[in-house]
Chains A and B, each alone.
Chain A
């Protein structure tokens, strides 16, 4: 069974297929004997103008939060980050912000790879199964939404 321990920025849905480049250390695993637990993605640095988009919070709320930062918060630029499935949502938010600013805002997108760690816990403690960890990669996007300098 797949489950996430705590809510967070994590975006990959429980049913998501294994990431294509999950590395060389593929572990032969009997799905009956192990529970796969996805750890949270690493805590990333957070400035006031960083927004980490997730798939749990309502889309409008996240968009409104960005708009508030740019309009009311007095920030000239914000960074919208999305990981895995949330990449789409991050892009959508950035494009929405740009569209509603009537072209005043510009976007600068960067991509990266984030290493994620999964824990494999033996279902039955009596058996000889050792707890294992597995790392895999997931793609992420970082979009700078900013007012260009005049």
Chain B
């Protein structure tokens, strides 16, 4: 048993580093990354931009790609305008859903956007998914004519679906619409419903409510 554990540790080690941009690349060719890469030039970077398949997502959802340098006010101005206009979509339907995706250092920003939008537009159901995104990079050596080096790196990414229509509460990562008045105590109904863990933050009248959907363990603290 011990050996097995150690073995898995070894396997995960190459992927283990933290930072997204520094995450150790899976090298297609063997040159030592530290020594060689300084002279190498990245000539292309392609990433898989498809949205993570979330059950319950409509095909024509607005997709917001949050990057490291994106301005939250720009993203939110656009997204909240689209979400708040009723029935004035080009196709004549109101926008019911929006997907936010972000990877690497853009993950935090993605979550912040979602959290702010949830406060702006009340009653949004949420499903969050985590995954690794693969990025292919082609690097060119210092000598002209030297064969390029292809690198595949994986970076952590998040994909969050916000929907005005109810989503499947059994879906992993589902969050029901937030209670707007955060200082209000959880109603007895929801306590009975038992899909809530309340986490008292202790701060004045602050309380985080996160629904982890654990029907068998109710922890009301």
Contact = CB atoms under 8 A, between A and B. Distances in A.
- The answer to whether A binds B is yes
A19 B221 CA distance: 29
Interface string A86-116: 0111011011100110000011111111110
B208 A79 contact: no
Contacts of B203: 42, 115, 117
A109 B173 contact: yes
Interface in B192-217: 199-203, 206, 208-214
A94 to B, nearest CB: 6
Most buried by A among B104, B160, B173: B173
Contacts of A108: 172-174, 212-213
B11 A109 contact: no
A111 B175 contact: yes
B128 A91 contact: no
B82 interface: no
A87 B108 contact: yes
Contact of A45 (B12, B199, B211, B214): B199
B16 interface: yes
A35 interface: no
Chain B interface residue bracket vs A:
35 or more
A43 B202 contact: yes
Nearest to B72: A20
Interface stretch (B36-44, B86-94, B112-120, B137-145): B112-120
B5 interface: yes
Contacts of B105: 88
Interface in A104-145: 106-115, 117, 137, 139-144
Interface in A13-38: 19-21
A69 interface: no
A81 to B, nearest CB: 9
B172 A142 contact: no
Contact of A79 (B8, B15, B212): B212
Chain A interface residue bracket vs B:
35 or more
B212 A64 contact: no
Nearest to A41: B201
A20 B128 contact: no
A133 B95 CA distance: 40
Given A20-B72, A45-B221, A141-B111, A111 B160 contact: yes
Given A89-B18, A111-B126, A142 B210 contact: yes
23 contacts: A42-B202, A44-B199, A47-B219, A59-B16, A63-B16, A64-B9, A67-B5, A71-B5, A84-B108, A87-B111, A88-B108, A91-B156, A95-B131, A96-B16, A99-B132, A100-B8, A108-B174, A109-B130, A110-B210, A110-B212, A137-B115, A143-B130, A144-B212
Interface of A: 19-21, 42-45, 47, 59-60, 63-64, 67, 71, 79, 84-85, 87-89, 91-92, 94-96, 99-100, 106-115, 117, 137, 139-144
Given A19-B112, A100-B12, A111-B175, 15 more contacts: A20-B112, A59-B16, A63-B16, A67-B5, A95-B132, A96-B12, A100-B8, A100-B11, A108-B173, A109-B130, A111-B114, A111-B115, A115-B206, A139-B108, A141-B111
Interface of B: 5, 8-9, 11-12, 15-18, 20, 72-73, 104-105, 107-108, 111-112, 114-116, 119, 126, 128-132, 156, 158, 160, 172-175, 199-203, 206, 208-214, 219, 221
